[in-house]
Structure 1
Amino acid sequence: MEFGEQLKKIRTIQQLTQAQFAVRINVTRQAVSNWENNRNLPDLEMVILIATIFNLSLDELILGGTHVNNMTEKLIKDGRETRRAKFNLITVLIGAFLLILGVVCFLIKGNSVEYVDSTGLLHENFYLLPIGFAFLFAGLMVFAVMGLKTLVGIFRTKK
């Protein structure tokens, strides 16, 4: 059973009009109509509110039986998008951190003093240059890979 059919069934069992139902859950009558006609779906917070008000389990409300319906598919899709967004955020933070480390290495190298000690040995922290370039390269690679991944995802959804 589709979510809209399940919602209409709950409303008719409670002997409520769409307007009365809308008032109880604090939305417009048009929103209830759109949900019942499967034009769009409520967000998760609204689904929880409906289940709470009408004393239903989320399984009863969302599934309405044993079949996967459009509401279940929406919840699964939302979960995937949330995980993807968290992954993208973590990746961007890692890339930015690597770029900042590279810049810090160059700043330290540029502001450090090179000197010759009493034995004639030159003291220079030359090693900061390749390390700085390595951090910059790694940070740029993280952004490049994420950009390519995003482009591939966009092209896949267009097909």
Structure 2
Amino acid sequence: MKFSEQITQIRKRNHLTQQEFADKLNVTRQAVSNWENDRNLPDLEILIAITHLFNVSLDYLVLEEGTKTKMATKLIKNTSDNRKAKLNLYTILIGTFIVILGLTCIFIKANSVEYIDHAGFLHENFYLLPVGFLLIFVGVIVIIVAGLVYLWTIRHDKRK
């Protein structure tokens, strides 16, 4: 049975109009009409509310006799999109941290004291400058690549 038929059956079994059904779920009557006419699908939050309010299982709403329905495909796609967005966010945060680390190295180098000890050795943390610039460069590259990959995946998914 299709999701649209299931929603209609649940609503009618509980002797509710589309407006009453919508009010119970805090959505518009048009949203319920779209679900029943197979023009749109509800979000996961609404599905969970339906299962609680009308005492039906999520399997009943999402699966069609053991096969994937349009609803199951939508939920899987949303999960995949969320996973991609989280990965992109973490990658950008790592890139930002690397840039901040590079700036910190340059700041320490600029504010450190260079001196010659009594044995005539120069004490200078000269390595902080190239390390700082390298970290900034790597961090910016990570951020740019993460952004481009994310934009490419979004564009690629829209073509499907």
Name the TM-score, length of structure 2 as normaliser: 0.89
- The CA deviation string for residues 41-77 of structure 1, in whole angstroms up to 9 with x for no partner, is 2111111111111111100122243231111111101
Map of 2:130 onto structure 1: 130
Map of 1:89 onto structure 2: 89
Do the aligned residues in 1 keep the contact of 2:115 with 2:122 (CA within 8 Å)? Answer: yes
Map of 1:103 onto structure 2: 103
In structure 2, give the amino acid aligned to 1:8.
T
Instruction: Tell me, yes or no, if structure 1 residue 77 matches structure 2 residue 70.
Output: no
Do the aligned residues in 2 keep the contact of 1:91 with 1:142 (CA within 8 Å)? Answer: yes
In structure 1, give the amino acid aligned to 2:60.
E
In structure 2, give the amino acid aligned to 1:83.
R
Q: Structure 2: which 5+ runs fail to align?
A: none
User: In the superposition, relative to structure 1, how do residues 155 and 52 fare at CA in structure 2: closer, same or farther (>3 Å)?
Assistant: closer
Do the aligned residues in 2 keep the contact of 1:3 with 1:71 (CA within 8 Å)? Answer: yes
In structure 2, C-alpha distance between the alignment counterparts of 1:68 and 1:108, rounded to whole Å: 58
In structure 1, give the amino acid aligned to 2:38.
N
In structure 2, C-alpha distance between the alignment counterparts of 1:153 and 1:80, rounded to whole Å: 11
Alpha-carbon offset, residue 13 of structure 1: 2.7
Instruction: Tell me, yes or no, if structure 1 residue 36 matches structure 2 residue 36.
Output: yes
Q: Secondary structure at the match of 1:23?
A: helix
Superposition map of 1:1-80 within 5 A: 1-80=1-80
Do the aligned residues in 1 keep the contact of 2:22 with 2:28 (CA within 8 Å)? Answer: yes
In structure 2, C-alpha distance between the alignment counterparts of 1:128 and 1:9, rounded to whole Å: 69
Q: Structure 1: which 5+ runs fail to align?
A: none
Q: Secondary structure at the match of 1:86?
A: helix
Aligned-residue CA RMSD (Å): 1.7
User: In the superposition, relative to structure 1, how do residues 25 and 154 fare at CA in structure 2: closer, same or farther (>3 Å)?
Assistant: closer
Alpha-carbon offset, residue 20 of structure 1: 2.7
Sequence identity (%): 55
Name the TM-score, length of structure 1 as normaliser: 0.89
Map of 2:113 onto structure 1: 113
Do the aligned residues in 2 keep the contact of 1:105 with 1:132 (CA within 8 Å)? Answer: yes
For this pair of structures, how many residues does the alignment match?
159
- The CA deviation string for residues 54-109 of structure 1, in whole angstroms up to 9 with x for no partner, is 11110012224323111111110111111111111111110000000000000100
